[in-house]
Amino acid sequence: MRLFSSDSAESYSVGPVNVARWEQYSLQDTLPFQAMWYSIPPGESSPTDCHPEVELSIVISGVASVEAGGATTLAPAGSAFLLEGDEAHVIHNRSDERLLIFTTYWMTPAAAITGAATAEVVS
Amino acid sequence: MRLFSSDSAESYSVGPVNVARWEQYSLQDTLPFQAMWYSIPPGESSPTDCHPEVELSIVISGVASVEAGGATTLAPAGSAFLLEGDEAHVIHNRSDERLLIFTTYWMTPAAAITGAATAEVVS
């Protein structure tokens, strides 16, 4: 058994966001995804992010206001939110509590297939 | 974006453990792992569990006392614990708070390779 604590992880700042990437745990041969902890103080927001990987985030504490696709959805502690590949998103912390999230992301063959199918429909 | 709440998930009981499997979300073509939410009330413990899949668990609230390999390790909210394939484990909630965990599990080729390498060393 191995224990990983968000409190003691090596981290760095991306604007107001504190990011601790799981590469530091050297689990690349074990995990079928990449991962990170990140936290956002009350009243702050992440920069806009957009990447080809699908992203699944677990809210550990606080409430995330997830802005994506022209809507903002509240994701409180004990919930998870899934973002498609290439879905632009901003995470706001509009609560009074520190927002702490565990997030995973990966490239999915299904996403590539969906992209190809969509391209066919458009053409 | 899709939101998944542990509070409203369909669940069932395994002894004192409340289990909500993610199969209900029909994400098998998207996620590179299986997943579930589970919760354990204060003073209760899970049955012993042992399976070939590697398991990564994120503690959302409460404190897990993770018994594995003859030792018990405290995993508080904001930490994660990783169990190897075939590593027997019992999760105790010795805190006064409901223990809520998000857990993922998957079969890993690396685990199979490690097993084969170990067998070679032994023989």
Do the Cβ atoms of A99 and B13 come closer than 8 Å? Answer: no
Q: pLDDT for B90-101, tens place per residue? A: 999 999 999 999
In a domain, A6, yes or no: no
In a domain, A7, yes or no: no
Q: Cβ separation of A30 and B68 shorter than 8 Å?
A: no
Average pLDDT over residues A96-100: 97
Torsional class of B62: left (φ above 0), alpha (ψ -120 to 50), beta (otherwise) = left
Query: Which three-class secondary structure string do you get for chain A?
Result: CEEEECCCCCCEEECCEEEEEHHHHCCCCCCCCEEEEEEECCCCECCCECCCCEEEEEEEECEEEEEECCEEEEEECCEEEEECCCCCEEEECCCCCCEEEEEEEECCHHHHHHHHHHHHHHC
Q: Cβ separation of A102 and B110 shorter than 8 Å?
A: no
Tally of domains within chain B: 1
CA dist A79 and A17 (Å) reads: 20
The boundaries of the domain holding residue A33 are 12-122
Average pLDDT over residues A56-81: 98
In a domain, A66, yes or no: yes
Q: Which residues of B touch A2 (CB under 8 A)?
A: 81-82
Q: What is the layout of strands, in order, in the sheet containing A2-5? A: A2-5, B79-83, B54-61, B99-106, B34-40, B17-21, B12-14
In a domain, B2, yes or no: no
In a domain, A4, yes or no: no
Task: Name, in order, each residue with C-beta under 8 angstroms of B58's C-beta and a sequence gap of 6 or more.
Answer: A58, A60, A102, B80, B101, B102, B103
Average pLDDT over residues A76-104: 97
In a domain, A60, yes or no: yes
Do the Cβ atoms of A73 and A41 come closer than 8 Å? Answer: no
For residue A5, the chain B residue with the least C-alpha distance is B79
Average pLDDT over residues A14-37: 96
The owner of tokens 């745990």 is A25
In a domain, A104, yes or no: yes
Q: Which residues of B touch A6 (CB under 8 A)?
A: 78-79
Q: Flag whether pLDDT at A118 surpasses 70.
A: no
Q: What is the pLDDT of residue B108?
A: 81
CATH of the domain at A33: 2.60.120.10
Do the Cβ atoms of B51 and B103 come closer than 8 Å? Answer: no
Two tokens at A95?
């609560």
**Across the interface, which of B32, B58, B81 has its CB nearest the CB of A1?**
B81
Q: What is the pLDDT of residue B112?
A: 54
Two tokens at A38?
């990140």
CA dist A66 and B30 (Å) reads: 20
Q: Which residue has the higher pLDDT, A6 or B116?
A: A6
In a domain, B71, yes or no: yes
Q: Which residues of A touch B81 (CB under 8 A)?
A: 1-4
CA dist B17 and B99 (Å) reads: 10
Two tokens at B95?
């805190």
In the chain, the amino acid numbered A71 is A
Q: What is the pLDDT of residue A108?
A: 81
Q: Report the predicted TM-score, pTM, of the whole model to 2 decimal places.
A: 0.89
Q: Which residues of B touch A29 (CB under 8 A)?
A: 108, 110
Q: Cβ separation of A68 and B1 shorter than 8 Å?
A: yes
DSSP state of B46: P
